[in-house]
Amino acid sequence: MNALTATNRNFRYAARILGLDSKLERSLLIPFREIKVECSIPKDDGSLATFVGFRIQHDNARGPMKGGIRYHPEVDPDEVNALAQLMTWKTAVAAIPYGGAKGGIGCNPRELSMSELERLTRVFTQKIHDLIGIHRDVPAPDMGTNSQTMAWILDEYSKFHGHSPAVVTGKPIDLGGSLGREAATGLGVFFATEALLAEHGKSISNMKFAIQGFGNVGSWAAKFFHEHGGKVVAVSDITGAIKNPNGIDVPALLKYKKSNKSLNDFQGGNAMDLNDLLVHECDVLVPCALGGVLNKENAADVKAKFIIEAANHPTDPEADEILSKKGVVILPDIYANSGGVTVSYFEWVQNIQGFMWEEEKVNHELKRYMMSAFKDIKTMCQTHNCNLRMGAFTLGVNRVAQATLLRGWE
């Protein structure tokens, strides 16, 4: 099942639980605006290349729209639509004053030089500058983009609108980026896991963790679990997978990965099959990589008691049902990985105030937001007698529906 079908299904189920009016339900599902632009740039060899850029702005009832920009050859409009919609519910669950958006350019960033990427980013910004803005739509990095991409967007946008650091988040620190932003999603995953385990009378220490994906989110989450006494027993990324039943030395692995760009041949554990990670013996499974990795083929073999969805949409609805029947507790992506967008919000606030925070304050506020959202989700679960995914979806959808009605709908 693709991401859009699954997201729509979750939304409709939540709308049914909440008893939403069918006209309002339809209105909430349809994106506010879809933008598609042609981006032509001269390549370094003098030839002309043309790419398609787009931005889907899903909803702005609760505030400016917010979401990443990805550079990827397979930019699928359906998936982007689903991710824009997920951002609407995610920002509502986190109780930050944003709506949802997502965008990108269909290109392979690995095949473009630095100067080509810069020209492409600037042309894209020129095409959409009047449709984004501090109080309209605030982009952020995503797959294939980074803080440098944001710096180019900021510079190009500022040529039209004057210096506007709050127009994008995920910027370099020197241009108004927030301290703590890099670790934010991984730290949010850690706080979310801590809240869930406490609910079940357990703590991070001595729990066994298996982590799929060792990029930004997975590596930070592993570091925090390790520091708080958790045992990371298996880790994988696209280069390979390793396991150690006594716990992997995470700082040593981080150092190894930094110098070797790979997990292969790391001495502190044994190599294992990439596909075995999801069904590895552990207490807590943390998928931090791609969507759709838990499906009807492997769900029955999952041994973890808790799944923390650090990736977007890692669990197919079919897998969801199989896992629920087994009694596996799943902490849904729209809450579990909302640390990133929450600290993006802090960055935006700091830029608007023109006053930057200490990293300690950023992390303290992040913990407060994550704990508060978990309490709100649990309240929805009790009110509607539903699981955590529906608790989160009903919470998010209800907040957006209320804002829509209050602003005057119909």
Nearest by Cα to 321 from 387, 381, 275: 387
Contact in structure between 27 and 409 (CB atoms under 8 Å): yes
Q: Is 127 annotated as a binding residue?
A: no
Q: How many CB atoms lie within 10 A of CB 368?
A: 12
Task: Give me the catalytic one of 23, 43, 102, 361.
Answer: 102
Q: Is 90 annotated as a binding residue?
A: yes
Contact in structure between 166 and 351 (CB atoms under 8 Å): yes
Q: State the amino acid at position 217 in one-letter form.
A: V
Cα dihedral across residues 309, 312, 317, 319: positive or negative: negative
Q: Is 171 annotated as a binding residue?
A: no
Q: Which two tokens stand for residue 183?
A: 């670790």
Q: How many CB atoms lie within 10 A of CB 47?
A: 7
Secondary structure class of 279 (helix, strand, coil): helix
Distant-in-sequence, close-in-space partners of 80: CB < 8 Å, separation ≥ 6: 54, 56, 102, 103, 104
Q: Which helix (H) or strand (E) holds 232?
A: strand 231-237
Distant-in-sequence, close-in-space partners of 99: CB < 8 Å, separation ≥ 6: 32, 57, 58, 59, 60, 61, 62, 63, 64, 65, 66, 87, 88, 91, 400
Q: Is 344 annotated as a binding residue?
A: yes
Q: Which helix (H) or strand (E) holds 114?
A: helix 114-128
Q: Which two tokens stand for residue 146?
A: 């980074």
Secondary structure class of 374 (helix, strand, coil): helix
Distant-in-sequence, close-in-space partners of 374: CB < 8 Å, separation ≥ 6: 192, 195, 196, 199, 335
Q: What is the DSSP letter of 74?
A: T
Cα 293 to Cα 109: distance, rounded to the nearest angstrom: 24
Whether 303 sits among the annotated catalytic residues: the reply is no
Q: Is 66 annotated as a binding residue?
A: yes
User: Could you report how far apart the first and last alpha carbons of the chain are, in Å?
Assistant: 33
Q: How many CB atoms lie within 10 A of CB 32?
A: 18
Known catalytic residues are 102
Q: Binding site for substrate: which residues? A: 66, 90, 344
Q: Binding site for NAD(+): which residues? A: 185, 216
Q: Binding site: which residues? A: 66, 90, 185, 216, 344
